[in-house]
RNA sequence: GGGGACGUGGUGCAGCCUGGUUAGCAUGCCGGUCUGUCACACCGGUGGUCGCGAGUUCGAGCCUCGUCGUCCCCGCCA
């Protein structure tokens, strides 16, 4: 076998006249009749090989085709002056082939390995070919660097990397678990972790003080472009710290990563209250790359005269001002009115032409003079239940910003603090923990609002970048009494708590240090740093939106014998 | 669980609204010409159960219903 002496990025002018051997895939062939040019590709780069007629190598080269794996021995030489390629890193040189060996042939590939096009199902089925594409290799190399830099940073801050089990106990609250049947104890099941939450808290109780892990997490819920059933977190936990300490550590880590892998200084990470974020941006993950904040008009005297928009009792009136643009037509604006209606909201809009407002609520607004709107701007005013208005306008804000193209190409990183501890679950008719039930509530809220759990704040915090939730964390409860109290508030009875978390509650009785932690979604962080919208572009072997792997064809049936061993009988389905 | 878009040679797309003779384009692949190309160019050719099933019709890639798959969104995701 012709074994390489150099990898492709290593070929440059310094090797001119030297004999080298390279290995790689045939990327492209240009057969000019007399001579043949072949681009060879490996992980590191692309180099042009020249085959000249009347040589043994030339005769073999005539039979080459795309994606063949070959070895070439040849002499590195400078390209003729007018034949250099400035677009190619190795464009000043080429390899004059003397020997060539075909190491593996290839059928015509069903995906383009040298172009970013093709339907995703075919690409996922032949993922190993899709992964040959330059852009996805770049993404995975970027991801590698980011994880290495993370380890470097956390190690230098005395964090210990400790692994925790993937086969664990099913936990009730939160996302649905993937479950794994036990063969040895038939009829019982493991669950795959939604996160290493309990383990990392136990590590704190054990005294490890600063822990981290690049952990895989599993959640059996419906998928989205930004959600995979298994995903990776940089999971960390610290003892004898408060919220500020964790945020400083994580904020500096993120800052370090942006600098180290993207060369960008994001500055210090500012904080915003959850309530503020909802009030101004209608979202707990506001995108701060553009303005268009919501303005609350409820108390303005003209609000009650807003015709069909005027608020009823307990309703709010809110406005966003859209910058001057030629993109939003009357028809486009009317669709927002329509979709507001389906959310039980009322929405009107009007464009300010310098003197008057023109639009569905133009007449009323033309009598108002303190709206602070500039010529050419459009206002959207929405009325309805507070939460609905916030959510709807928040979503509309982002949609419009995308449409009219006002989103700056930058990174806006921030903390969202003081999330509500509990949220009402309409389906189960009970309150549940919004973050998770191990989160430390504000103790004064707990005393003052025992009648209304929705008013209790938690020491929990999210990291948000460009409108994406990058991770979340909290100060944890570290006493048995408080943990039991929180369980009780979310309707977990004493016996239930004992059965599910007894070992954990017991651990609190043997000296549990105050602790807090965080987890960063690696897939999302890499995506946002690279500016790609789908997690699939930063994961080597991702799943589809229905949770299957098109290459392996999973999930799939297992044999009768396997089921029998597990003591499992399938019901007839479909 | 709900809504939307898509499914046509190996691959990417057009054709469907308004049903009708041979399903079009690009690329790939095969053959030919070509000694400085770089998405080489030019000439010729090969390649399609129009996802699957049913229905309407004299006739379905096109219309209807169902089904499977992919993508996007809502619910869901502590």
**A471-492 pLDDT per residue, tens:** 999 999 999 999 999 999 999 8
Q: Closest residue by Cα to the C1' atom of nucleotide B40? A: A30
- Å between A544 CA and B53 C1'? 25
What is the pLDDT at residue A430?
86
* Cα dihedral A111, A115, A121, A127 sign: positive
- Å between A225 CA and B71 C1'? 9
Closest CA to A68 of A29, A111, A37, A21: A29
Phi, psi of A75 (to 5 degrees): -105, 130
Query: In angstroms, rounded to a whole number, what is the distance separating the alpha carbons of residues A461 and A328?
Result: 36
Domains A8-104 and A290-407 share a fold: no
Q: Closest residue by Cα to the C1' atom of nucleotide B69? A: A121
Mean of pLDDT values over A187-203:
96
| pLDDT at residue A365 tops 90 | no
| pLDDT at residue A307 tops 80 | no
Mean of pLDDT values over A131-138:
94
Mean of pLDDT values over A406-429:
92
Whose tokens are 């062939």? That residue is A29
The CA-atom distances, in angstroms, between A562 and each of A442, A556, A568 are 50, 13, 9
The mean predicted confidence, pLDDT, of chain A is 93
DSSP A80: P
Mean of pLDDT values over A163-180:
90
Ranges of each domain in chain A: 8-104, 290-407
Residue A419: nearest nucleotide (C-alpha to C1'): B78
Q: CB-side exposure of A206: number of CA atoms within 13 Å?
A: 13
What is the pLDDT at residue A132?
95
Residues A403/A408/A409/A413 CA torsion (nearest 10 deg) = -110
The CA-atom distances, in angstroms, between A373 and each of A282, A336, A350, A403 are 21, 20, 11, 20
Query: In angstroms, rounded to a whole number, what is the distance separating the alpha carbons of residues A100 and A90?
Result: 20
The CA-atom distances, in angstroms, between A417 and each of A66, A297, A442, A457, A548 are 54, 25, 12, 9, 36
Query: In angstroms, rounded to a whole number, what is the distance separating the alpha carbons of residues A526 and A149?
Result: 13
Residue A87: nearest nucleotide (C-alpha to C1'): B38
pLDDT band at A30 (very low <50, low <70, confident <90, very high): very high
| pLDDT at residue A520 tops 80 | yes
Query: In angstroms, rounded to a whole number, what is the distance separating the alpha carbons of residues A401 and A290?
Result: 8
Mean of pLDDT values over A337-346:
86
Query: In angstroms, rounded to a whole number, what is the distance separating the alpha carbons of residues A493 and A329?
Result: 56
Query: In angstroms, rounded to a whole number, what is the distance separating the alpha carbons of residues A375 and A354?
Result: 5
The answer to whether residues A446 and A458 touch, using CB atoms and an 8 Å cutoff, is no
Token code pair at residue A105 = 């042939």
Residue A46: nearest nucleotide (C-alpha to C1'): B38
Residue A26: nearest nucleotide (C-alpha to C1'): B38
Mean of pLDDT values over A7-20:
97
| pLDDT at residue A301 tops 80 | no
The CA-atom distances, in angstroms, between A566 and each of A176, A183, A276, A559 are 22, 5, 52, 11
pLDDT band at A403 (very low <50, low <70, confident <90, very high): confident
Burial of A291 (0-12, 13-18, 19+ CB in 10 A): exposed
- Å between A63 CA and B30 C1'? 12
Whose tokens are 């590709």? That residue is A41
The answer to whether residues A538 and A140 touch, using CB atoms and an 8 Å cutoff, is yes
What is the pLDDT at residue A573?
58
Q: What fold does the segment set A290-407 form as a domain?
A: Gyrase A; domain 2 (3.30.1360)
pLDDT band at A546 (very low <50, low <70, confident <90, very high): very high
Closest CA to A517 of A253, A174, A242: A242
The CA-atom distances, in angstroms, between A130 and each of A321, A473, A531 are 44, 35, 19
- Å between A29 CA and B49 C1'? 35
- Å between A396 CA and B65 C1'? 36
Neighbours of A118 (CB within 10 A): 16
Residue A108: nearest nucleotide (C-alpha to C1'): B10
Q: Closest residue by Cα to the C1' atom of nucleotide B34? A: A33
> Omega into A515 within 30° of 0, i.e. cis?
no
Residue A102 φ/ψ region, left for φ over 0, alpha for ψ in the -120 to 50 degree band, beta for the rest: beta
| pLDDT at residue A339 tops 60 | yes
| pLDDT at residue A172 tops 80 | no
pLDDT band at A112 (very low <50, low <70, confident <90, very high): confident
The CA-atom distances, in angstroms, between A496 and each of A364, A438, A439, A490 are 58, 16, 19, 12
The answer to whether residues A453 and A478 touch, using CB atoms and an 8 Å cutoff, is no
Token code pair at residue A378 = 């459009």
Q: How many Å from the N-terminal Cα to the C-terminal Cα in chain A?
A: 54
- Å between A118 CA and B42 C1'? 28
| pLDDT at residue A131 tops 50 | yes
Per the model's pLDDT, the better-predicted residue between A141 and A430 turns out to be A141
3-state DSSP call for residue A60?
Answer: helix
- Å between A319 CA and B44 C1'? 66
The answer to whether residues A17 and A77 touch, using CB atoms and an 8 Å cutoff, is yes
Residue A439: nearest nucleotide (C-alpha to C1'): B78
pLDDT band at A574 (very low <50, low <70, confident <90, very high): very low
Length of chain A equals: 574
- Å between A310 CA and B58 C1'? 62
Query: In angstroms, rounded to a whole number, what is the distance separating the alpha carbons of residues A465 and A405?
Result: 18
Mean of pLDDT values over A226-247:
97
Query: In angstroms, rounded to a whole number, what is the distance separating the alpha carbons of residues A149 and A143?
Result: 10
Query: In angstroms, rounded to a whole number, what is the distance separating the alpha carbons of residues A54 and A302?
Result: 90
The answer to whether residues A296 and A478 touch, using CB atoms and an 8 Å cutoff, is no
| DSSP β-bridge partners for residue A413 | A465
Mean of pLDDT values over A114-128:
89
Closest CA to A172 of A198, A201, A200: A198
Query: In angstroms, rounded to a whole number, what is the distance separating the alpha carbons of residues A252 and A248?
Result: 6
Query: In angstroms, rounded to a whole number, what is the distance separating the alpha carbons of residues A338 and A392?
Result: 12
Phi, psi of A269 (to 5 degrees): -95, 115
Mean of pLDDT values over A548-561:
93
Mean of pLDDT values over A518-528:
97
Closest CA to A321 of A357, A351, A287, A360: A351
pLDDT band at A95 (very low <50, low <70, confident <90, very high): very high
**A35-87 pLDDT per residue, tens:** 999 999 999 999 999 999 989 999 999 999 999 999 999 999 999 999 999 99
Token code pair at residue A45 = 């780069």
What is the pLDDT at residue A519?
97
| % of residues, chain A, pLDDT over 90 | 81
Q: CA A496, A498, A502 angle in degrees (round to 5)?
A: 140
Distance of CA A21 to the CA centre of its chain: 41
Can you identify the CATH homologous superfamily of domain A8-104?
Answer: Nucleic acid-binding proteins (2.40.50.140)
Mean of pLDDT values over A210-233:
96
In A161-242, which residue ranges form alpha helices assigned H by DSSP? 197-206
Chain B: nucleotides under 7 Å from a protein CB? 1, 10-13, 28-30, 33-41, 68-78
| Rounded (10°) angle between helices A386-404 and A330-342 | 150
The answer to whether residues A40 and A6 touch, using CB atoms and an 8 Å cutoff, is no
């Amino acid at each position: 076998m012709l074994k390489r002496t150099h990898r492709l990025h290593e070929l440059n002018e310094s090797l001119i006249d030297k004999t080298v051997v390279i290995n790689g895939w045939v990327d492209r062939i240009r057969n000019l009749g007399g001579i043949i040019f072949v681009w060879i590709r490996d992980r590191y780069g692309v180099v042009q090989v020249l085959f000249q007629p009347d040589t043994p190598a030339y005769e073999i080269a005539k039979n080459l085709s795309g994606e063949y794996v070959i070895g070439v021995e040849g002499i590195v030489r400078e390209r003729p002056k007018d034949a250099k390629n400035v677009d190619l890193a190795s464009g000043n040189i080429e390899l004059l082939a003397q020997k060539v060996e075909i190491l593996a042939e290839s059928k015509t590939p069903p995906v383009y390995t040298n172009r970013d096009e093709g339907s995703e199902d075919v690409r996922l089925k032949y993922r190993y070919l899709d992964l040959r594409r330059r852009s996805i290799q770049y993404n995975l190399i970027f991801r590698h660097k980011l994880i290495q830099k993370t380890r470097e940073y956390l190690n230098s801050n005395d964090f210990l990397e400790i692994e925790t089990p993937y086969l664990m106990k099913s936990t009730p609250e939160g996302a649905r678990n993937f479950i794994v049947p036990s063969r040895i104890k038939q009829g019982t099941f493991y669950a795959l972790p939604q996160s290493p939450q309990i383990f990392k808290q136990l590590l704190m109780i054990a005294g490890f003080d600063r822990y981290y892990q690049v952990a895989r997490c599993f959640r059996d819920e419906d998928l989205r472009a930004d959600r995979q059933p298994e995903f990776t977190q940089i999971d960390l936990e610290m003892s004898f710290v408060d919220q500020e300490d964790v945020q400083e550590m994580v904020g500096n880590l993120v800052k370090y990563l942006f600098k180290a892998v993207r060369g960008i200084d994001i500055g210090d990470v500012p904080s915003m209250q959850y309530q503020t974020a909802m009030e101004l941006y209608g979202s707990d993950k506001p995108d701060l790359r553009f303005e268009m904040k919501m303005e609350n008009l409820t108390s303005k005297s003209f609000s009650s005269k807003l015709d069909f928009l005027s608020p009823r009792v307990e309703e709010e009136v809110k406005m966003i001002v859209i910058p001057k643009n030629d993109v939003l037509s009357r028809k486009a604006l009317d669709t927002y009115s329509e979709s507001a209606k389906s959310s039980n909201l009322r929405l009107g809009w009007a464009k300010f032409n310098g003197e008057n407002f023109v639009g569905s609520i133009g007449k009323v607004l033309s009598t108002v003079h303190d709206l602070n709107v500039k010529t050419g701007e459009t206002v959207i005013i929405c009325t309805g239940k507070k939460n609905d208005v916030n959510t709807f306008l928040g979503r509309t804000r982002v949609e419009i910003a995308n449409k009219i193209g006002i989103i700056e190409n930058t990174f806006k990183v921030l903390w969202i603090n003081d999330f509500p501890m509990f949220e009402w679950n309409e389906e189960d008719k009970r309150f549940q923990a919004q973050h998770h039930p191990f989160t430390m509530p504000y103790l004064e809220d707990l005393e003052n609002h025992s009648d209304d759990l929705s008013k209790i704040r938690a020491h929990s915090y999210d990291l948000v970048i460009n409108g994406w939730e990058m991770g979340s964390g909290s100060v944890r409860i570290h006493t048995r009494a408080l943990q039991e109290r929180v369980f009780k508030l979310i309707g977990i009875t004493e016996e239930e708590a004992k059965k599910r978390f007894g070992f954990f509650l017991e651990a609190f009785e043997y000296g549990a240090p105050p602790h807090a932690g965080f987890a960063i979604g690696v897939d999302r962080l890499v995506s946002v740093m690279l500016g790609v919208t789908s997690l699939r572009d930063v994961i080597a072997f991702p799943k589809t939106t229905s949770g299957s792997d098109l290459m392996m064809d999973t999930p799939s049936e297992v044999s009768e014998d396997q089921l029998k061993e597990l003591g499992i009988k399938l019901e007839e389905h479909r």
